[in-house]
A and B are shown apart, each in its own frame.
Chain A
């Protein structure tokens, strides 16, 4: 499950949204370390913690 998919699981209101347009920047530097949250500037939703992301199941 990708980082994007985990975030959508936590915040279903973001489904179908363009994350960049709502202040969320996910990034992957193609260095084998995978996706990460580079910036989280959403007006109302808090940045999910790592434990919240880890808890998301398929």
Chain B
């Protein structure tokens, strides 16, 4: 069988001998015959003190490749001897101690355990049984193919949590899908009503309705009588105003939802003419982008508005853009 170790010039075994000074713990550099201490793998290093083999870790540390440090300082003239072995010398190998890169595919019969991060750099392909990959555009890619599912993600109890059926694009989620703000069903929503003391709008003047009471405001997007959701999408917006009970001359009135300062949805009717409360209501779908806002305006007689639940403004995202 051919010799597969390091070349003869390199040597298979190296010996270093030092004569200690009193209390010396660290040994490095040239030994007693001028050979500089070096070892490639601490697992293949034997250290003797006056002929007694020392225990790695307990008696000494050898981690740098050029230094051996005793736990207990040596006595004057102690002989400290190191025998370093070349663990392997074949050129086309990956170092156990230093790691490296394999040029081709690697198959492992058992599990692979890493204390670091597994970094995939190649794309997966159709037909991969189970592959994890990466492209700069797609990021992390998981590809698989099975008879029922192509991809299954399980929890610690080995129960399927997320499944992508074979050849399909639908995703099955076993539990409750919790999503962030802006996701369907998780968009901003608010509801407000007028507080007491609502002042009467000027006659024939579009007047922004003041809402002093917030029933809810899921994301803190309603402020100063204005709803600015900041999440792009389609919103159902509703507004209602009631004039307080009174008898005054019948007059046209308009309730309007303003978007960014201009009317976008409005409803007109006649109020007054007999003693009663007269209500107006407007609602509809409004597209709002990241900085759009909506407000509620009333136009009509100079009559007091009902405070409380009869004057309201509310809305919620119903579809993400």
Contact = CB atoms under 8 A, between A and B. Distances in A.
Same complex:
yes
B204 A30 contact: no
Contacts of A20: 204, 206, 252, 254, 299
Contacts of B241: none
Given A20-B254, A21-B252, A30-B225, A2 B302 contact: yes
B204 A28 contact: no
B252 A4 contact: no
B160 to A, nearest CB: 55
A26 B225 contact: no
A3 B204 CA distance: 10
A18 B205 contact: no
Most buried by A among B202, B205, B207, B302: B205
B204 A18 contact: yes
Contact of B202 (A4, A21, A31, A38): A4
Contacts of A31: 208
B257 to A, nearest CB: 15
B203 A25 contact: no
A55 B98 CA distance: 92
Contact of A25 (B206, B210, B252): B206
User: How many residues of B sit at the interface, in one of the four size bands?
Assistant: 10 to 19
Contacts of A19: 204
A35 interface: yes
A4 B208 contact: no
A31 B302 CA distance: 18
A54 interface: no
Contacts of B299: 20
Contacts of A27: 205-207, 297
A5 interface: yes
B233 interface: no
Interface in A1-35: 2-5, 18-21, 25-31, 35
Interface of B: 201-210, 225, 251-252, 254, 297, 299, 302
Interface of A: 2-5, 18-21, 25-31, 35, 38
20 contacts: A2-B202, A2-B203, A2-B205, A2-B302, A4-B202, A4-B203, A18-B204, A18-B252, A20-B206, A20-B252, A20-B254, A20-B299, A26-B204, A28-B201, A28-B205, A28-B207, A29-B208, A30-B209, A31-B208, A35-B202
